[in-house]
Chain A
Amino acid sequence: MQTPAPVDYARATSVADAIDLLEKHGDEARLLAGGHSLLPMMKLRLARPEILIDLNDLDELRGIRIEGEEIVIGAMVTHAEILDSPVLAEHYAIFREAEKVIADPIVRNKGTIGGSMCQADPSEDLSAVGSALKGSVVIQGSGGKRTLALREFHEGPYETKVGDAEILIEVRFPIRPGAGSAYEKVERRVGDWPVASAGVFVVVSGGVVTDCGIGLTAIGAEHFCAPDAEAYLIGKAPTEENLAAAAQLAADACTPYADQRGPVDYKLHLARELTLRTLRKAAASSQGA
């Protein structure tokens, strides 16, 4: 079977220790969280770090908690923990709906939110969730911590603004009372990467949309979001006509490429269709349906 190239291994004892190790080894080091993106790349010898810095002992990066008006998810929180979290389920259905279609139950036991975000796969479902909810990340380096909006986090496919000697330590999401949210993914088979996914939140108040977020993945939406579609909806009633117009704007924000998951026309169709389906569901949920 495939095997990684030779590599050194160190277990970080704290975030500070991990940062020290990163500074020492420069860009030859890679952080090891769940390993379910990195290790397959290493086995294919597409990634060949010289040293792996294992974050799995860092309890400080675990846990889901409420801090003020935000939900804070530690970078080492696994997909399984997100799926099962009552706190997340209480505020946003989108987490559960997205997580239950990410990979499979066994992979979800290992894969982490921090790892998923930092892998920055252009088909990552959690990136769509993060953009939809307009979340932020906290990044720590030797100079301290900084916070960055998730919609500014990605430099491009597989590239983020996390520096060589920095660690993403947590992901934060604003709590929005009354928000409805939903996620839909089309996949060729359970566990596959999405052909296309859409995730949204909608706050309907006084019969009009007062806040919303639209996240899209796998279909070439810049920063996994569709701001024009969001702007269109604000102040409008969540009618089928308005939601459909917003969904079309969301599709207009996408530049998918053809691959074995589907041709461009189909992916653009899905961008619209899935945005519409999730908007309907989220708007209904926000209105207490």
Chain B
Amino acid sequence: MEVTITVNGTPVTSEIEPRKLLVHFVREDAGLRGTHWGCDTSNCGTCVLWVDGSPVKSCTMLAAQADGHEVTTVEGLEQGGVLDPIQQGFIECHGLQCGFCTPGMMMTGRWLLDNNPNPSEAEIRDCISGQICRCTGYKNIVASIQWAAEHPATSEVTA
């Protein structure tokens, strides 16, 4: 079947098998490999991206379901050469080590702040509770999201 999914603002049209998972569409058809996968069972959140502005686990959604919808990935966070505060926060607060869970964590973190600009530590921990990080013990991920909350204007910092 032919699908057209707008990925980070750019329509991507592709002939796919209906069974193709959205994570594979993004990685293979859209050629954006920042979205990873880690578990197959929607437990780890490594594959989190946004569909129509809401984070979803893209290993548990068919690309066909996203036909005609808007997908945003980690590659869509940086705007005009300026990092999103969530990206800057992860750098400033050492919110990543191996980097594998990082795109998913940032997508969820950005979404949280879009809906709750000043989340408590408990709210942050709850919001990322469907996502596993094996490196950081989460403390610095929480700090990174807090940093982004405290620095909402992207112009304040540069990479």
Q: Do A and B bind each other?
A: yes
Chain A residues with CB under 8 Å of chain B are: 1-9, 32, 35-36, 39-40, 42-43, 52, 54, 56, 100, 103-107, 109-110, 190-191
Q: A36-B57, A106-B48 are in contact. List 20 more A-B contacts (CB 8 A).
A: A3-B24, A6-B17, A6-B18, A6-B19, A9-B1, A9-B64, A32-B62, A35-B65, A36-B60, A43-B40, A52-B62, A105-B129, A106-B55, A106-B56, A106-B108, A106-B131, A107-B42, A109-B54, A110-B60, A191-B130
Residues A7 and B37 in contact, CB atoms below 8 Å apart: no
User: Nearest Cβ in chain A — how far from B35, in angstroms?
Assistant: 12
Residue of B at shortest CB range from A104?
B130
Residues B56 and A1 in contact, CB atoms below 8 Å apart: no
Task: Give every chain B residue within 8 A of A8 (Cβ-Cβ).
Answer: 18
Q: Tell which of B42, B48, B65 has the most Cβ of chain A within 10 Å.
A: B42
In this assembly, does B158 line the interface, its C-beta being within 8 Å of a C-beta of chain A? Answer: no
Residues A104 and B129 in contact, CB atoms below 8 Å apart: yes
User: Nearest Cβ in chain B — how far from A50, in angstroms?
Assistant: 11
Task: Give every chain A residue within 8 A of B48 (Cβ-Cβ).
Answer: 106
Residue of A at shortest CB range from B54?
A109
In this assembly, does B12 line the interface, its C-beta being within 8 Å of a C-beta of chain A? Answer: no
Residue of A at shortest CB range from B60?
A39
Residue count of chain B within 8 Å CB distance of chain A? 29
Task: Give every chain B residue within 8 A of A5 (Cβ-Cβ).
Answer: 19
Chain B residues with CB under 8 Å of chain A are: 1, 17-19, 21, 24, 37, 40-43, 45, 48, 54-57, 59-62, 64-65, 108, 126-127, 129-131
Residues B129 and A190 in contact, CB atoms below 8 Å apart: yes
Task: Give every chain B residue within 8 A of A103 (Cβ-Cβ).
Answer: 130
In angstroms, Cα B43 to Cα A52, docked, is 23
In angstroms, Cα B129 to Cα A7, docked, is 32
Task: Give every chain B residue within 8 A of A191 (Cβ-Cβ).
Answer: 43, 129-130
Residues A7 and B18 in contact, CB atoms below 8 Å apart: yes
User: Nearest Cβ in chain B — how far from A108, in angstroms?
Assistant: 8
User: Nearest Cβ in chain B — how far from A122, in angstroms?
Assistant: 18
User: Nearest Cβ in chain A — how far from B72, in angstroms?
Assistant: 14
Residues A39 and B56 in contact, CB atoms below 8 Å apart: no
In angstroms, Cα B106 to Cα A182, docked, is 34
Q: Can you identify 12 A-B contacts, CB atoms within 8 angstroms?
A: A1-B21, A5-B19, A7-B18, A7-B19, A40-B41, A104-B45, A104-B130, A105-B108, A106-B55, A106-B130, A106-B131, A191-B129
Residues A107 and B65 in contact, CB atoms below 8 Å apart: no
Task: Give every chain A residue within 8 A of B131 (Cβ-Cβ).
Answer: 104, 106
Residue of A at shortest CB range from B23?
A1
Task: Give every chain B residue within 8 A of A109 (Cβ-Cβ).
Answer: 54-56
Q: Tell which of A100, A105, A106, A191 has the most Cβ of chain B within 10 Å.
A: A106
A-B pair number, CB within 8 angstroms: 79
Task: Give every chain A residue within 8 A of B130 (Cβ-Cβ).
Answer: 103-107, 191
User: Nearest Cβ in chain B — how far from A129, in angstroms?
Assistant: 20
User: Nearest Cβ in chain B — how far from A97, in angstroms?
Assistant: 14
In angstroms, Cα B58 to Cα A64, docked, is 27
User: Nearest Cβ in chain A — how far from B14, in angstroms?
Assistant: 14
Residue of A at shortest CB range from B47?
A1
Task: Give every chain A residue within 8 A of B40 (Cβ-Cβ).
Answer: 1-2, 40, 43
User: Nearest Cβ in chain A — how far from B16, in angstroms?
Assistant: 10
In angstroms, Cα B48 to Cα A52, docked, is 23
Residues B42 and A1 in contact, CB atoms below 8 Å apart: no
Task: Give every chain A residue within 8 A of B45 (Cβ-Cβ).
Answer: 104, 106
Task: Give every chain A residue within 8 A of B1 (Cβ-Cβ).
Answer: 9
Task: Give every chain A residue within 8 A of B127 (Cβ-Cβ).
Answer: 105
Task: Give every chain A residue within 8 A of B18 (Cβ-Cβ).
Answer: 6-9, 52
Task: Give every chain B residue within 8 A of A54 (Cβ-Cβ).
Answer: 64-65
Residues A110 and B43 in contact, CB atoms below 8 Å apart: no
In angstroms, Cα B135 to Cα A180, docked, is 43
